[in-house]
């Protein structure tokens, strides 16, 4: 089974779940590193990005709280359920009055069963687009240059995933749809390492129409 077929199968499953349970307003599945694997058609990218970023902030502290297998966030208009399924996470947004029994069946039976069937169909590990959601930090000064900066560990991760000696260029996409490509290197400020940050020169921030503290999606460019 191809990567696209795998993601499409998960997307179809989430779409059918939403039809059966209208109280579910959106749903998506993502990996621990923030990579979104599949989502129903009603789920906006902005909503996904914000949910994943908030969750990753909690995951960084999971050792202090004894692990993180499930999370329920109560809001004024409804609830967000996030549950761990194997090596992935399922996020569901539902109304306050959603059937708790059915939601439990989705997270504990339906989706795990679909994932198991798909993995049996495609037993080899599947690689998805290695995009990351990172927080913008601006670079300014006379000698900044044109390169963006990310964690060395992320550069190594991309190199291993893509079977390359190194990653020298990335594509950056903002929520507003603006995108650009840039050379990339390791973050040179030790205080900012491991913070999920991308340091972007001010002139590139203007092109992307982003500001410090905002989220952008970053991925390695394809080799030519």
- For 7-37, write each residue's pLDDT tens digit: 788 888 888 888 888 888 888 888 776 778 8
* For helices 111-121 and 3-20, angle between their N-to-C axes, nearest 10 degrees: 160
Q: Which domains does the chain have, with CATH numbers?
A: 3-121 (3.30.450.30), 132-220 (2.40.40.20)
Q: What is the pLDDT of residues 156-186, one digit of tens each?
A: 989 988 888 899 999 999 988 899 999 999 9
Q: Which two tokens stand for residue 148?
A: 């963006």
Task: Report residue 206's pLDDT band, with 50, 70 and 90 as the boundaries.
Answer: very high
Beta strands per DSSP E along 70-223: 70-74, 79-85, 88-94, 132-139, 148-150, 169-174, 179-186, 197-201, 215-220
CA proximity to 13, closest of 124, 116, 122 = 116
Give the count of beta carbons closer than 10 Å to the beta carbon of residue 56. Answer: 15
């Amino acid at each position: 089974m191809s990567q696209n077929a795998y993601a499409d199968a998960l997307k179809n499953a989430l779409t059918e779940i939403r039809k059966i349970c209208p109280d579910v307003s959106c749903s998506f599945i993502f990996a621990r590193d923030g990579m979104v694997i599949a989502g129903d058609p009603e789920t906006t990218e902005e909503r996904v990005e914000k949910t994943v970023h908030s969750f990753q902030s909690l995951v960084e502290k999971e050792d202090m709280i004894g692990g993180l297998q499930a999370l329920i966030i109560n809001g004024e208009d409804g609830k967000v359920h996030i549950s761990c399924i194997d090596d992935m996470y399922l996020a569901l947004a539902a109304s306050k009055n959603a059937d708790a029994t059915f939601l439990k069946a989705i997270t504990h039976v339906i989706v795990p069963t679909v994932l198991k069937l798909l993995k049996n169909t495609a037993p080899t590990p599947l690689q998805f687009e290695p995009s990351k959601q990172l927080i913008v930090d601006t670079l300014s000064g006379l000698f900044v240059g044109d390169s963006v900066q990310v964690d060395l560990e992320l550069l190594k991760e991309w190199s291993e995933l893509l079977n390359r000696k190194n990653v020298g260029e990335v594509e950056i996409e903002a929520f507003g749809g603006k995108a650009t490509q840039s050379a990339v290197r390791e973050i040179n400020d030790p205080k900012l390492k491991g913070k999920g940050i991308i340091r972007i020169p001010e002139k590139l921030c203007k092109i992307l129409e982003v500001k410090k503290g905002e989220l952008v999606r970053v991925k390695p460019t394809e080799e030519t």
